[in-house]
């Protein structure tokens, strides 16, 4: 299965969520490859750090840019799960990745700056489905404040109703320091001592796979 993490704006926790999904899948005994298609190379650096600790479950990684369609299709024949980290912008990697992916996950913060990108992204999804009619697209709310009085989460949910091509996942990723702490260690939060963060990722895994 090919799962593409992509958005039209950076800073939404896209790479962080992608690597955490990889770590969780690997810990469940799955054969996972992470495709870093983002020139920032956040995901690839995470794998390099991870490889230094042989006690951690293996996550394979390749870096591929420009047209990634054929690469994804080939990897899908060799691995159980192909997780793709595309650039946080409208890019060739994002568009060609959509033509091969089974699922597109669109991470977004509950903020106006992130929500304003959804209109253009929905158009890109519609165009991609001309080549890949089975593409499923889901919005994933990330970096959500844990403060229960904050209304941003509810408002973002209402906003997404205007974009029927992007189904909103009930699962959310909250703003937690442990996500930042785990990244330079090459770990996922499921490998850290933080049950709340681990439960967020496990719930997402349960929903997607």
Model pLDDT, residue 147: 77
Model pLDDT, residue 148: 66
CATH number of 2-208: 3.40.50.300
Model pLDDT, residue 155: 80
Model pLDDT, residue 3: 99
* Tens-digit pLDDT profile for residues 106-157: 999 887 777 878 888 999 999 999 999 999 999 999 998 887 656 777 787 7
Structure tokens belonging to residue 193: 């001592």
* Tens-digit pLDDT profile for residues 2-34: 999 998 767 788 999 999 999 999 999 999 999
Residues 6+ apart with CB under 8 A from 30: 80, 81
Alpha-carbon distance of 5 to 174, in angstroms, equals 17
Strands 81-88 and 103-108: unpaired
Cα pseudo-dihedral 108, 110, 113, 117, rounded to 10: 40
* Tens-digit pLDDT profile for residues 84-94: 999 988 999 99
Model pLDDT, residue 186: 98
The residue ranges of DSSP E strands in the chain, in sequence order, are 2-7, 32-36, 60-63, 81-88, 103-108, 136-144, 167-174
Model pLDDT, residue 85: 97
Upper half-sphere CA count for residue 161 (Cβ side, 13 Å)? 5
Instruction: Work out the number of other CB atoms within 10 angstroms of the CB of residue 196.
Output: 11
Model pLDDT, residue 151: 74
Domain boundaries, the chain: 2-208
Q: 172, 200 in Cβ contact below 8 A?
A: yes
Give Cα separations from 170 to 1, 141, 146, 167 (angstroms). Answer: 21, 9, 15, 9
């Amino acid at each position: 299965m090919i799962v593409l993490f992509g958005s039209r704006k950076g800073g939404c926790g896209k790479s962080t969520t992608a690597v955490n999904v990889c770590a969780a899948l690997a810990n469940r005994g799955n054969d996972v490859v992470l495709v870093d298609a983002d020139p920032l190379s956040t995901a690839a650096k995470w794998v390099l750090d991870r490889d230094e600790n042989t006690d951690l479950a293996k996550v394979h990684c390749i870096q591929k840019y420009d047209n990634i369609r054929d690469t994804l299709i080939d990897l899908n024949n060799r691995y159980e799960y192909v997780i793709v980290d595309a650039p946080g912008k409208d890019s060739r990697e994002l568009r060609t990745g959509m033509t091969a992916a089974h699922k597109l996950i669109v991470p977004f913060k509950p903020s106006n700056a992130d929500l304003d990108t959804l209109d253009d992204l929905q158009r890109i999804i519609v165009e991609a489905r001309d080549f890949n009619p089975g593409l499923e697209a889901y919005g994933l709310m990330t970096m959500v404040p844990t403060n229960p009085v904050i209304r941003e989460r509810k408002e973002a949910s209402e906003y997404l109703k205007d974009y029927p091509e992007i189904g909103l996942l009930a699962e959310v990723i909250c703003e937690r320091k442990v996500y930042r702490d785990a990244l330079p260690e090459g770990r996922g939060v499921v490998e850290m001592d933080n049950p709340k963060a681990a439960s967020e990722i496990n719930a997402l895994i349960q929903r997607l796979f």
